[in-house]
Amino acid sequence: MSKPFEVGMTHELKIKTLPEHSAQVFYPNLPDVFATPFLAGLMERVSAELMHEHLQPGEQSVGISMNLKHTAATPLGMEVRIRTEIVAVEGRKLTFQLEAFDEAEKIGEASHERFVIQADKFNARVQEKAKKKP
């Protein structure tokens, strides 16, 4: 049996930034630094990882909102550390507060909401939607 979600639960993720994490992956005219979309994705990942060990069999989580501030550039090759904390639990909806740091300073923060779903029902709805594609 999984433990219930509780306010105050935390989790961290560390990665070394690589060339494939560059903002230039999205548009070549951007600076060659760690990209905001990758920061957002890692914030989602670290929060999903925290939830994963507490989900019941057949459950998954999906992101439903994120308010992100990317406040400092990170040179590629630096390590980035992201910390998430559950700050609210409202039924199946969890709210997280996140902070991100590189080796020199804080580089961002975000609030993020995730929702617990029944994987089979969710996937069935997605498959039905895919059939409607023109």
Nearest to 92 by CA among 11, 3, 4: 4
Choose the catalytic residue: 11, 17, 21, 44.
44
| Residue 120: alpha-carbon gap to chain centroid | 22
Relative to beta strand 59-70, strand 10-16 is: unpaired
Q: What is the pLDDT of residues 35-78, one digit of tens each?
A: 999 999 999 999 999 999 899 999 999 999 999 999 999 999 99
Eight-class DSSP state of 6: -
Choose the catalytic residue: 36, 54, 59, 99.
36
H-helix or E-strand spanning residue 38: helix 36-52
Q: What is the pLDDT of residues 11-39, one digit of tens each?
A: 999 999 999 999 999 999 999 999 999 99
What are 56's strand-pairing partners?
none
pTM: 0.93
Instruction: Give a yes or no: residue 1 inside a domain.
Output: no
Instruction: Give a yes or no: residue 4 inside a domain.
Output: no
- Concerning whether 95 is annotated as a catalytic residue, the answer is no
- Concerning whether 70 is annotated as a catalytic residue, the answer is yes
H-helix or E-strand spanning residue 1: none
Give how many domains the chain has, as a whole number. 1
- Concerning whether 54 is annotated as a catalytic residue, the answer is no
Instruction: Give a yes or no: residue 86 inside a domain.
Output: yes
CATH of the domain at 19: 3.10.129.10
